Chain A
Amino acid sequence: MKNIFVLDPKLYGLPSREEMIGFRIWDSHYHGFFATPVPIKQHEAMLHYVERMGVERIISVDIGGTLADPLTVMAHDPAQLEILKKYQSRVSGIIPIDPGFPEESVKKMDKWIKDGPCIGIKYVGGNKLGVVCSEPQNDLIISHAKKLNAVIYIHTWIKVGGDPRRPGGANLPGESAPWHVVELAKRFPDVKLICGHAGGDWELAVRTVRPYENIMFEFSGADPHSGSVDLAVNELGADRIVWGGHGPSRSFSTEFSKVLDASISHEDRMKIFGRNYRKLCKAMFDQKGWSLKI
């Protein structure tokens, strides 16, 4: 493989592109279709950076509808469906759902996951009825996801605010925090749940989810803080962490740096960059008849 960089990254204490490819990076939080009037065009442009940075697979979190209107059929839905089918070897998708409308969410899961190419669901950062992931109506959604072997990603954040100011005091209506994921995890101890964005405040989030082995942790979408992945590995273990890129709103470099900064083994980096997520969706790949080497 030719080196596509004008300078050798190894001279700067960074892994080469070949080494990045060797990590088998799965971007579990790809936003290529997000927040734009031209989602397909944006995705096409993003592929340049996906390829350049050696990412093996992207998992779009914006398939079907939009994050603001997860249950509304959008004009670009057919094009997304086509992309997922045509580029199955490199592109996967999970669908945003709305816990305020559990029955409709289940119908969407059947359409896109059971009868379509998608592999999981995403709880987005807020919703119209202000329903967080711990409320009882989520049980229908999670039970159905379990039946389908679907990946479950939950956007979480702990936004400081309110009066008096406190962690989580500025969360949006329906925006889950890690403690909401904990409540859900207790009810479904045999279902893996991804606590997204490391709760925004990884120091508090790690403490919150630590005892619950079925909660996984994902860091994308927040500023890179040196030492954050070290703490998560020490407290949760490398087996509970998955990696997300959050592009194009975040740079791949920002998200890579969180893992590269950590004083962890090559084996643990392999787990975080992709292996853990591959394990998570192995059953789904198998039932769809897709080959997957963990």
Chain B
Amino acid sequence: MAKINRRDFCTAAIGSAFVAGAGRLSASPLPATPDNEAQKAPFIIDTNVSLGQWPFRHLKYQGAGALGDKLKKHRIKQAWAGSFDALFHKNIDAVNAALTKECAAYGRNFFLPFGTINLAWPDWEEDLRRCHEVYKMKGIRIYPSYQTFDLTHPDFGKFFEQVAKRKLVLQIVGDMDDSRNHHPIVLARDFSYAPLTELVAKTPEARVQLLYWNHRVSAKQMDLFVGTPNIVFDTARIETAGGIDAMLDGNQHHKDRVFTFGGIERTLSEIPWGRNSKPVPAERILFGSHAPYFPVEASLFKLFESDLTLEQSKSIMEGNAAGLLQG
């Protein structure tokens, strides 16, 4: 990282109280920039967005039209979409059909529908077949904490194998929201990702992505997952300052970064916060915003808050997702 000169910083911080053109940033079109810089900048595949109706709030960018237009302003070229309706509906096929229709209506293959399966409802195999053969979906997204089954369900192994056999990506949502904020009538269930390690070992062709996984993956569990290459992670709930930095380095042996604060040159060589697990390779992290529930800006800014190389940025923004989809 380039050294930051404190005098420059302070002058800019105090002297330029007003910066022209910064109003209504979230609604601004992408600015004109030098062609060479724009050309080398990767586009983004957002692996975690949702359409449909969040049951407890009207969301600001709800629906394919509002969300798609918003995401495009942030250089996102493709979004993998689940449906909020998957959380509670019993007629899962109707949810998947509506999702497919909404994605298609927005056009240009911007939204890829990821249908859902609920193992707690009868005849889930037919729903899976329709997702693959009728709706031509590329992946399945499940929500165990809301859908009242967990990864020890008697059918989960069978489901897992069938998803892999059909060469579909399997996304498993850990949480949708902080449980402290839930509507009082909702008591989402606890579950563990732990059974995945053994299942993936038995099914090496499986492709699994964990979404909003962070409350359910301990440092010990992460160490096991790091050794399981076909499990990947989204960025939606990677927290802590420099959270992606910390994941990449396992919070321990950080590359030295020189910076200046208070007129003193300093070196950051360790991040002494967050979980201490084995380093997670950049190839295992995929951009996923959890929009429109979370602002897309939250995950976007994390790519800048952490001191990523251009190659790491390209992988997380686009390359890893494209690779996962291709299998």
A-side residues, CB < 8 A to B, are: 1-2, 4-15, 18-19, 21-24, 36, 38, 41-42, 44-54, 56, 86-87, 89-90, 157, 159-160, 164-167, 169-170, 200-201, 203, 222-227, 230, 247-254, 256-258, 260-267, 269-270, 293
Contacts and interface: CB of A to CB of B under 8 A. Distances in A.
A251 B13 contact: no
Contact of A22 (B12, B185, B260, B268): B12
Interface size of B as a range:
35 or more
Nearest to A275: B17
Interface of A is mostly: loop
Contacts of A8: 33, 37, 41
Contact of B30 (A11, A200, A250): A11
Given A11-B75, A201-B181, A266 B24 contact: yes
Contact of B261 (A6, A50, A253): A50
Interface stretch (B133-141, B156-164, B198-206, B234-242): B234-242
Given A7-B41, A51-B259, 7 more contacts: A14-B300, A54-B13, A56-B14, A160-B182, A226-B294, A252-B241, A257-B294
Contact of A226 (B1, B30, B60, B307): B60
Nearest to A256: B301
Interface of B is mostly: loop
Nearest to A245: B241
Given A48-B266, A226-B60, A247-B240, A200 B261 contact: no
Contact of A257 (B57, B178, B301, B303): B301
Contact of B59 (A7, A13, A53, A227): A227
B28 interface: yes
Nearest to A88: B262
A267 B24 CA distance: 10
Contacts of B239: 249-251, 254
6 contacts: A10-B33, A21-B12, A224-B294, A226-B292, A227-B57, A230-B60
A185 B117 CA distance: 50
A252 B310 CA distance: 21
B298 A52 contact: no
B293 A225 contact: yes
Interface in B69-84: 73-75
B106 interface: no
A257 B303 CA distance: 13
Interface string B1-45: 110100011101110111100111111101101000110011010
